[in-house]
Amino acid sequence: MKQPTVIPLDGGVRKPGVVPGPDGRTILSSLPPLSLYVHVPWCVRKCPYCDFNSHELGAELPEQDYLAALQADLEQALPLVWGRQVISIFIGGGTPSLLSAGALDQMLAMLRACLNILPDAEVTLEANPGTVEAGRFADYAASGVNRISLGIQSFDDGALKALGRIHDAAQALAAVEVAQKAVERVNLDMMYALPGQSLQACAQDIQQAMSFQTGHLSLYHLTMEPNTVFAKYPPAVPDDDASAAMQDLITEATAANGWERYEVSAYAKPGQRCRHNLNYWEFGDYLGIGPGAHGKLSFHDRIVRQAKLKNPASWMSKSILRDGSHLAEDRQVHWKELGFEFMLNALRLKEGVPRSSFIERTGQSILAIAPALERAVARGLLEPSREQLQATPLGWAFLNDLQGEFLD
């Protein structure tokens, strides 16, 4: 299979893939696509299942202090990504839709001034139905947001109450309609295996979600994450057999209605896959700014992971007081970890990724993971393909087992 030409960092032309490093290992000869993640850390109320870096808003949102800190955070990172094109922006939280239309416009103007953002970049904003305003959504779109991800979770009032959500079913229905009028691309975040949920109730939720014919659905199994209220006081949820039946129902219903399950929890109509998340799963680069934001950045001789200070007040003080970096973590990924990190992401995709992308994104020969590949193929978890790294249906069903093969 013929591989495309890769333009290396020094501007010359080499064969695609990698070049030898000074220690006998390989180094990257080209950089992957770059995305930007922006974290807005505040919520009206913390949900009992949520383990994200979100904080209840006790008073008025400190928009200007936040935007000043965000700009300082970005300016500190600019030398790491200077000149690189940004293919997507994801504004997540927390609840980014708490931001006023003016504040979001300021944010996007600042990002465009500092970064080389593709004209057709995907710009996603997460929103909570309990904070949706029709006029504000139209203004978001006018500022450059072209994709809205709504945290619906369920259309059932009882389930929403059990999940601690601040919106009800009527607000959820209204929010979808408002979002669809504002932008062409809308994702609905839904959950299943909820407290007390029956198979019939799950089916009704999914049918309601599909009735809007949005281009994308994210369907997550409720999990009891450590350090959450649900972990400390777990509610009664469907057992493994019941939740497996719900997953089967979801897979069949979405496929019958035109959504392709292209990733473990992601379903899309043709041309509606999330570009930002695909870049994560394909081991692309992403710069994270905002409290607790994580990033992965590639250079010709190394790959680094970063994390910003989690506490919003501490993170903002670094800008307000001018007293230092926003970084809480900045480490080089050891070359022995790269195989596992790559496969941990790539195997989430139903189609997998080309074998050549392992070389291009890690700077290593495929021989670095050859023993694990052989074991996974022998167990029937990985397709025995010379061109593609792809889970079998069995491997996708037992993805943790498959990914675990690469921990060595």
pLDDT tens digit sequence for 290-307 = 999 999 999 999 999 999
Q: Which residues contact 154 (CB under 8 A, 6 or more apart)?
A: 160, 163, 165, 169, 172, 190, 191, 194, 205
Question: How many CB atoms neighbour CB 357 within 10 A?
Answer: 18
Confidence of residue 96 (pLDDT cuts 50, 70, 90): very high
The pLDDT, as a whole number, for residue 374 is: 96
Q: Residue 232's pLDDT band (boundaries 50, 70, 90)?
A: very high
| Helix (H), strand (E), coil (C) string for 157-221 | HHHHHHCCCCCCHHHHHHHHHHHHHHCCEEEEEEEECCCCCCHHHHHHHHHHHHHCCCCEEEEEE
pTM more than 0.85: yes
What is the predicted pLDDT for the residue at 3? 31
Q: What is the pLDDT of residue 15?
A: 37
Q: What number is the average pLDDT over the span 108-116?
A: 98
| Residue 383 to residue 8: CA distance in whole angstroms | 31
Given a contact cutoff of 8 angstroms between Cβ atoms, the answer to whether 108 and 144 are in contact is yes
Q: Which pLDDT belongs to residue 246?
A: 97
Least confident of 167-176, 283-292, 310-319, 373-382: 310-319
Residue 184 in contact with residue 213, Cβ under 8 Å? Answer: no
For residue 337, pLDDT over 90 is answered with yes
Are the C-beta atoms of residues 217 and 153 closer than 8 Å to each other?
no
38-67 pLDDT tens trace: 999 999 999 999 988 899 887 789 999 999
Percent of the chain surpassing pLDDT 90: 83
- Check whether 162 has a pLDDT greater than 70: yes
User: 132 near 99, Cβ under 8 Å?
Assistant: no
With tokens 């180094």, the residue in question is 27
Cα-Cα-Cα-Cα torsion 170, 175, 178, 184, nearest 10 degrees, comes to -130
Looking up tokens 């809007």 gives 212
Which pLDDT band, with edges at 50, 70 and 90, does 187 fall under? very high
- Rounded Cα distance between 290 and 111, Å, is 13
What per-residue string of b and e applies to 242-265 under the rule 16 or more CB within 10 Å gives b?
ebeebeebbeebbeeeebbbbbbb
Sorted by where each begins, the domain ranges of the chain are: 18-29+336-404, 34-280
- What DSSP line would sit under 55-84, residue for residue? EE--SS--HHHHHHHHHHHHHHHHHHHTTP
Q: Stretch 336-358: mean pLDDT, rounded?
A: 96
pLDDT bucket at 323, cuts 50 / 70 / 90 = low
Give the model's confidence band at 19: pLDDT under 50 very low, under 70 low, under 90 confident, else very high. Answer: very low
Per-residue pLDDT band for 17 (boundaries 50, 70, 90) equals very low
Residue 8 tokens, joined: 């290396």
pLDDT given at position 291? 96
The Cα–Cα gap between 395 and 381 comes to 4
Q: What is the Cα Rg of the chain in Å?
A: 22
Mean pLDDT on 196-221? 97
Asked if CATH classification 3.40.50.2300 holds for the domain at 34-280, the reply, yes or no, is no
- CATH class belonging to 18-29+336-404: mainly alpha
Q: What's the mean pLDDT in 377-396? A: 96
- Write down the pLDDT at residue 14: 34
Q: Please give the Cα distance from 408 to 391 (Å, whole number).
A: 18
* pLDDT category of residue 132 using cuts at 50, 70 and 90: confident
What pLDDT, on a 0 to 100 scale, did the predictor assign at position 11?
29
CA neighbours within 13 Å on the CB side: how many for 293? 26
